[in-house]
Structure 1
């Protein structure tokens, strides 16, 4: 059931403006101890002021636990988290973060790792590249961004130890990634990983299917809550019998919190942390989280209150 995280305090030791919209933050433990171990592709939940919290990929070297690094893009329609990080967090600021969790790990069975990044989606791959440096498994990174000034960490990738493994695709220079051609060159045991805007992720998934790539060989991550799409429905809290109306455009957790019907822990509100996982008692749901596996989603046993929605007119949950 619901995941639990150990939370601990960190101090911001460096802030770098990587692009006009992206900042890199370096975090170290306030108590001076090493950071908890992590693997490439891991994320942490960052808790901020006013109850805000967001999930961010760790982009630093998993072999160096003196600090973590995260990249934060200032979102145009920010719920407040990215604006807080960009406008209020400075060197010396203290934040509370979770222990790492990994929903985007490299598959150890892959014959080759083919990584596709769009914009801020580059961040989880940076930690994975550190892991791949000393390994024997071939890998390549395809990194797409709008224009040169928006290519976060481009220089590090172009000049670093992975330079020969990275290809850049810049929209403003008419250099576009041809997914069909890329997938046509893959072998049966190659694995594809994509992180970035939803249109890129959708295109990779669709083109991989067309190319006959097994679903299990395509991995994706996107830290953005799915829109609360779909019609209104009745939500029943099974323990009390209380009925609530979840309107179109509203999440289940918002409906619960609006009338203080129950207390629910939810760190990320984006379907990645697992803290709001709740049992389904009656009805079926549409899952928009990245926490549950495909098999767990199909079983219709639990849901994430922050992003899931009812498939029918009525849903009963164990609250």
Structure 2
């Protein structure tokens, strides 16, 4: 790769051209972004996502669904959600070829395990997008896999025919329930017996995510992986009461100390103080704001960090200190 492309990879955001919008299923469009000059784009791995700047102040995260081997394009697919916060409507209504669109470089909080002997992929509706990219990678590596794709009907299943054509080393099963989950895939039965060397990945709407979580609860924790599109409803935790009197956050590089009141958001306090913290989802789902913490007790409220990562990192968009002083590597 030449030096100009190396400089591009060092960037956090790119300005790309929307080359194609295509209807993939009822309510689902795919969007293909390319470099204006035809250069290669920063590489990504299966399960990665990008931030798409839809309009001023409107940024959303979408999983890349094309093959990681394709360096010339990023492809995302978006389900129009009339009850959503406006991101999907903006994508469907305002994205036009050949718009120039600001997107982030890819980030991945949903990596495939390199040592998996077999992979079980469970997709609910539009949750198929990161798993489709995984199928591309698993096929390229000749890995054993099975994809179970759950949708209301074939007209609501994006990429169905493409996925079925792709499957050579693995199998693709589509399950259509007509809107009644009881008539669809029996996830508990599918995951009844943990298999040595097998990893499970699931993504989809809230009810589907909960069903997968319960069905895989008896599997080894390090073999089960998921990605949420929307933040689940959080139950109150004992740790959250630790912020009743607020707390102090200290920036290790400068020694600057900031007071965070009980009703204040940590990321916003850091940004107002000029700390280099960027936010995107503000829901603990994307990892944009992830920072290293050096000391202090934390009430973690994110949905992407595992227990090991939480020993060193936090997401200040939703997480906070539990009283006392929280020291951040900033």
What TM bracket, shorter-length normalisation? 0.7 to 0.9
CA contact (8 A) 1:27 1:68 kept: yes
Task: Tell me the residue number matched to 2:27.
Answer: 21
Of 225, 233, 244, which aligns to 1:219? 225
Q: CA deviation at 1:228?
A: 6.8
Task: Tell me the residue number matched to 1:306.
Answer: 317
Is structure 2 residue 117 aligned with structure 1 residue 104?
A: no
Change (3 A) 1:21 1:262: farther
Task: Tell me the residue number matched to 1:187.
Answer: 195
| RMSD of equivalent CA atoms | 2.9
1:58-77 matched pairs, under 5 angstroms: 58-77=64-83
Q: CA deviation at 1:240?
A: 4.0
For 1:201 and 1:99, locate their aligned partners in 2 and report how far apart those are by CA, in whole Å. 27
Task: Tell me the residue number matched to 2:303.
Answer: 289
Q: CA deviation at 1:172?
A: 0.7
CA contact (8 A) 2:289 2:316 kept: no
Which consecutive segments of 4 or more residues in structure 1 shift more than 6 A? none
Of 158, 167, 175, which aligns to 1:162? 167
Is structure 2 residue 271 aligned with structure 1 residue 265?
A: no
Is structure 2 residue 288 aligned with structure 1 residue 274?
A: yes
Gaps of 5+ in 2: 1-9, 251-255
Residue 166 of structure 1 aligns to a residue whose secondary structure is strand
Change (3 A) 1:73 1:204: same
Q: CA deviation at 1:237?
A: 4.2
For 2:233 and 2:317, locate their aligned partners in 1 and report how far apart those are by CA, in whole Å. 10
Q: CA deviation at 1:316?
A: 4.3
Q: CA deviation at 1:38?
A: 1.8
For 1:70 and 1:207, locate their aligned partners in 2 and report how far apart those are by CA, in whole Å. 29
Is structure 2 residue 214 aligned with structure 1 residue 209?
A: no
Q: CA deviation at 1:156?
A: 2.4
Change (3 A) 1:309 1:169: farther
Gaps of 5+ in 1: none
Change (3 A) 1:14 1:200: same
Q: CA deviation at 1:302?
A: 3.6
Q: CA deviation at 1:215?
A: 0.8
- What's the TM-score once normalised by structure 1's chain length? 0.83
For 1:275 and 1:253, locate their aligned partners in 2 and report how far apart those are by CA, in whole Å. 8
Residue 90 of structure 2 aligns to a residue whose secondary structure is helix
Q: Higher RCO, 1 or 2 (CA under 8 Å, sep at least 6)?
A: 1
Q: CA deviation at 1:53?
A: 1.7
CA contact (8 A) 2:289 2:317 kept: no
For 1:256 and 1:75, locate their aligned partners in 2 and report how far apart those are by CA, in whole Å. 32
CA contact (8 A) 1:280 1:303 kept: no
